[in-house]
A = this chain, B = another copy of it.
Amino acid sequence: MKQIEKLMDYRESVRVVDATLRDGGLVNDFFFTDEFVKALYATNIKAGVDYMEFGYRASREMFDVNEFGKWKFSTDDDIYSIVGDNDTDLKIAIMADVGRCDYKEDIHNASESPVDLVRVATYLHQIPSAIQMIEDAKNKGYEVSCNIMAISTAQEIDIKAALEMICKSPVDVLYIVDSYGSIYPEALARLVTVYSEAADKYGKKLGIHAHNNQALAFANTIEAVGDGVDYLDATYFGMGRGAGNCQIEPLLGLLRNPKYSVYPTLKFNQDFMVPLKDSGVVWGYDLQYLVTGLLNQHPRTAIEFTKNKRTDYAKYYTDMLGMD
C-alpha cells in the first residue's frame, strides 16, 4: 500500500499536460475553432496546467491540409496566433510522430518558436528514427519527451532494450503509453518499475498517457503518480481517441499543489466540451472500446464500428475473438 500522506501532500515535480487538442483532435479531425482554442489556452493558465499540447506537427506533404483542421499541423504561426509571446507559466507542446513529420524543415529553432516541448511519438520498431528526432529537437533548443506507443503488446525485454537506447539520447521525459487502454493498475505499477530503472540510471523523468477503454485512465494515472511518475497527460472531459483519456477535472481535484484549480475546468467544460459532445463529436467509455481494451488491440475496428453507428456489440466481440 502506498503512503496515505501522498493524498494529502504534493510533489513539486509533478506536471499536468493538457492533451485535448492533440488526442481530442483525433475524433474531430482537428477542426477546433479559434474561439475554442483561445478559451482552452486561457483555461489552462487559470487552472494551473503546466503544458498545453497544441496538436501534431504532421507533414504537409503526407497529409492533405484541406482534409484536416490546422492543429493536425500546428505551425508556429498558428500557435503564435493563439498565444502571442505567451508570457505565462503555461508551456507549449506539440507532438511529432516518427515517419509522419518533416522535422528537419518543420521544427525550427526553439528561439524562433512558441513551442517549449517537442513530444516524439514512436513505435518500438522505430527507435533509431525517434532518437534522430530527439537529437534534432534537443539541438534546436527544446525540451523533448519520447512516447513509446503500443507497449502493451511488447515483450518486456524489448521495452528494456528500447529504454536503454532512448535513455542514452538527450531526451528529458520518457512516457509510458497505454495506447490500447488495456493495462490494469497492478500491471502499470510493474511497468513503472521497469521504466524507472532505466530513467533513474540516466537521470530522466517519466510520464504517463492513459486511455479509458476499461474505464481506468484516471486510475492508472493515479497509480503512476503514486509510483513517482511526474508528467501526467489528461484532457478536458476525457476527450480523446476512442474511449478517450484521463479526465483533467478529477486529476486536478486529486493533486494537492495549490497552483491547480478545478473551477476553470468546469467552466470550460460547460462552455465548450459539453456543447462539442452535444454537437455529435463522439468519445468516451463505450462497449466497443472495452472490447479492444480487453483484447489488447488497436482501437481502429472499434472506431470504425462507432463511425458506422453500429450497436451490435455482441457480434463485434465475437468477430474480434474470431480474428484472434
Once bound together, how far apart are the Cα atoms of A90 and B311, in whole Å?
A: 28
Contact check, A216 vs B214: say whether CB atoms are below 8 A apart.
no
A5 and chain B: residue at smallest CB distance: B186
Question: In the bound complex, do residue B253 and residue A223 qualify as a contact, i.e. CB atoms below 8 Å apart?
Answer: no
The contact string, 1 if C-beta is below 8 Å from chain B, for chain A 197-230, is 0000000000000001011111100110010000
Q: Is the CB of B263 within 8 A of A184?
A: no
Tell me the bound Cα distance from A185 to B184 in angstroms: 13
Q: How far is the CA of A187 from the CA of B253 in the complex (A)?
A: 15
The count of identical subunits is 2
Task: Decide: A269 and B214 in contact? CB cutoff 8 A.
Answer: no
Do B1 and A186 touch (CB < 8 A)? Answer: yes
Q: A223 to B223: give the CA distance in the assembly, Å.
A: 11
Chain B residues near A219 (CB, 8 Å)?
Answer: 185, 215-216, 218-219, 222
Interface size on A, residues (CB 8 A): 48
Contact yes or no, B1 A222, CB < 8 A: no
Instruction: Determine whether A250 belongs to the interface, using a CB cutoff of 8 Å to chain B.
Output: yes
A267: chain B residues at CB < 8 Å are: 313-314
Tell me if A59 is interfacial: C-beta within 8 Å of chain B.
Answer: no
Q: Does A125 contact B (CB under 8 A)?
A: no
Option from B223, B237, B311, B318 in Cβ contact (under 8 Å) with A263: B318
Q: Mark A302-322, 1 if CB is under 8 A from B, else 0.
A: 000000000111100110000
For window 1-34 of A, CB contacts with B under 8 Å fall at: 1-2, 4, 6-7
Cα(A223)–Cα(B274), bound, Å: 31
- 7 additional A-B pairs beyond A212-B215, A249-B290, A270-B311, beta carbons within 8 Å, are A184-B254, A214-B218, A216-B250, A249-B287, A263-B317, A269-B287, A269-B313
Residues of chain A having any CB pair with chain B under 8 Å: 1-2, 4, 6-7, 184-187, 189-190, 193, 212, 214-219, 222-223, 226, 237-238, 247, 249-250, 253-254, 262-263, 266-267, 269-270, 274, 285, 287, 290-291, 293-294, 311-314, 317-318
